[in-house]
Amino acid sequence: MESTGFSPFLHLRLPKRALRRLQEVGIYCRTGVRMEYQQSGRRYVVHGTESGGAIRELGRYVTFAGPEGEPLEQLHPVDSIGANGVHAVVVAPVLVKVDMFRYGKTYQLLMSRHQPKGSTDGRRPALESKDLFRGVDGYLPWELCGTDKDKAGTVIPDFYSRSGEKMEIPAQFQAVVQAVTLASNCAACSHSHYLIPCRSAAALT
């Protein structure tokens, strides 16, 4: 696949201290997406990497879904040196990126949609990135990596607007947000939380 574009935009706005702390404890996320050209399919697709993990104090995780929140098949898993790193690669015509950061019981969430856009004259299209949901300082009262592990995977933080009104996450994205909430509490994470295994790889096992 020929590389044709990269989007560094639409990331969580985290303070430098948070980014430095993630680096210190060895939690690594590839938050960028890029556009690639498939020679065989003669189409442009979007490439992303599911990654991240947690310690008890904090966590960050990035995963991807289809345009309606559906789980996507990973291109292949990735073996990482150490935990809380890279887990799997995904390629699709449209990707919804779900990026969550947790400190204690407080959460930041960004969901964004990425797809090739425009250009029907044979030239490279632009990579369109659209903000779908941005939640700031959401709160979840349970310790999902501690005493409340039984709730992990079934709950999501509550997010509110500046005026104190609850912000509802669209119903089609509830499952992926539940998964990324669990993942941001998954200590020493070494596996994918939302992308599903490649069928061709599964057939070989």
The enclosing H or E element of 86 equals strand 86-92
- How do residues 123-155 score in pLDDT, each as one tens digit? 889 999 999 999 999 999 999 988 898 998 999
**What confidence tier does 57 reach under pLDDT thresholds 50, 70, 90?**
very high
Total of domains in the chain: 1
Q: Taking the complete model, does pTM exceed 0.75, yes or no? A: yes
34-38, long-range: CB within 8 Å, 24+ apart, which pairs? 34/3, 34/5, 34/6, 34/7, 34/127, 35/3, 35/4, 35/5, 35/6, 35/7, 35/116, 35/125, 35/127, 36/1, 36/2, 36/3, 36/4, 36/91, 37/1, 37/2, 37/4, 37/124, 38/1
Mean pLDDT of the region 192-201: 85
CB distance 94 to 45 below 8 Å = no
